[in-house]
Chain A
Amino acid sequence: MTAGVVVRADAVIRRFGSFTAVDTVSMHVEPGEVVGLLGANGAGKTTLIRMLLGLITTTAGDVEVLGGPPDRAHRRRLGYVPQNLGLYRDLTVSENLAFIAESFGATRPTIPDDLRRYADVLVGAMPLGAQRQAAFVAALSHQPEALLLDEPTSGVDALSRAALWDTIRAQSDHGVGVLVTTHYMQEAQQCDRLLLMSDGRLVAQGSEADIIGSTRALAVHTDDWATTFAALNDAGAPVILDGRAVRVADTGPDELQRVLDAAGIHATITPVPATIEERMLVLARAASPS
């Protein structure tokens, strides 16, 4: 057993035919740590998670879960909340929890106060926020030592999202290691450490600043955002409309100035901190130039 690690992938490769979905990825999650896994569709996040869960095998490299292989004995010490929640929609919350407790040989969990009014309601008839909360209660019922969460707060309001993060943080405070995939950049900021995958490879890891790396962004302010946006967009620059300003990623100020001059646009150009999304945009454009 590797001390102090709840899940680990060591130079893991997974191929499907001639397609390499995960290419030599090494990563780990420590107890009490919340690690965010980021990447566009097809980056390899889901394949990596499925290997960590032992649902598919690796083509090469090793996966370790709580000190052993991802077999049944080790898997039962994991908690997993899939994107589709993994609850029976035509059973009530109580029935779902009873069924899951039975499968794990665990005692039935207490339903938290704010979920109690749904105890006898069919999961399919509940608001999404309550469904997600119920899925958490289910995943935590056997007191797992590691949690794998796939898009845990997708589609819910800010308050429900905050409540779910309270639950996640309460677990990590008690030493549970958490791996979260997310498309939500504010959610990425909730994590202690981030991993960014692109094209099957792990391309950056660490803090938000480490993920952004050397990506640069410029804000362009003009009287007429529409003309400015159209000119830069037509020139093929990676532009993002931001209120009444236009942001441009990974483009030098001189190059930007040339495009603006050519279009006869007077503008103020200001360097601004780049975002994780801009790093991902730059990576995606490098992977498939259009």
Chain B
Amino acid sequence: MTYGVRSVTVSFGDLRALDDVTVEVAPGSIVAVVGGDGAGKTTLLRTLVREIRPDRGEATAPPKTDIGFLPASSGSWASLTVAQNLDFAGGVFGLNGEALARRRDLLLAGAGLTRAADRLASQLSGGMRRKLGFCMAIVGDPALLVLDEPSTGVDPVSRIDLWRLVSEAAAAGTAVIMSTTYLDEAERAAHLVVLDAGDILVQGPYDSVRADFPGTVTESDIQVRPEWSWRRGRQRHEYWPDGDPPTHLDVVDPDLEDIVIALSLVRRNRVGAAS
């Protein structure tokens, strides 16, 4: 069964947090929702798990007992140990006794947290705490796993480890949707969704996003058109939406960073022109 949100609009007072957004999450795959602070990532995930009722549109998700959710806040209790946190989360999903102990040991070993089992969650590094939160979200073996920024602020090695845990879940058939501020994680997902101020800038597998990107990106050490220009190291990249750059500029193969910046500029320049 495929989960997701269809034509969802959510407002908080005057703020349109999501505007007619549709995202599907298939079993055995990872959907990465990428965007900055205020893009609508958390609203999207909370609408999917039915913590927010949309103004319009609908969310399709399994019953609560079959959803694992890691919120953007820590997702664990600071004054409980790693093992106690996991036992508590397991209890919520109806696990107890031997079954719970086996599940706990398996998850802690997989996350590299076995030796930290008796440590208070407050004494974990940021990366370890997010891994604990991940274990708590998946302890009930959910059909749908929803992770809100599991990797923000986490060091690169812990991020790769988290990505391995998320990949394991998807490989075992779980439908996974996660938000992230890191474009490299979006590149690696089966399906990426770029959110900007409640709108979807682009979505699809990375290969299709690249193939379907309209226009041309050029590289130069001078600025030709400031409103379509951004820095990449010592060089400048510039976007030509109609694909008609002057011939003296070098054309580059845009990566996801270029694509997202270019599409954000299109949106901003359009909004600017309309107001």
Contacts and interface: CB of A to CB of B under 8 A. Distances in A.
Interface of A: 38-42, 127-129, 151, 154-162, 165-166, 169, 183-186, 189-192, 225-227, 229-230, 233, 239-244, 276-277, 280-281, 284, 290
B181 A226 contact: no
Contacts of A277: 156-157, 159-160, 184
B251 interface: no
B181 A156 contact: yes
Interface string B102-116: 000000000010000
Contacts of B187: 242-243
Nearest to A163: B230
Contacts of B38: 127-128
10 contacts: A40-B156, A41-B155, A127-B37, A157-B37, A158-B36, A158-B257, A158-B260, A165-B230, A240-B164, A241-B30
Interface in B25-75: 28, 30, 35-39
Interface stretch (B131-139, B140-148, B167-175): B167-175
Interface string B149-168: 00011111111100110011
B233 interface: yes
Given A127-B38, A185-B156, A166 B231 contact: yes
A198 B232 CA distance: 27
Given A40-B158, A233-B171, A243-B190, 19 more contacts: A38-B156, A39-B155, A128-B36, A128-B38, A154-B181, A158-B260, A159-B265, A165-B231, A183-B159, A184-B182, A225-B171, A239-B164, A240-B188, A241-B167, A241-B188, A242-B188, A243-B188, A276-B156, A284-B157
A165 B236 CA distance: 11
Interface residues of B, number: 52
Contacts, number: 137
Interface of B: 28, 30, 35-39, 112, 125-127, 152-160, 163-164, 167-168, 170-173, 181-184, 187-190, 196, 205-207, 230-234, 255, 257, 260-261, 264-265, 268
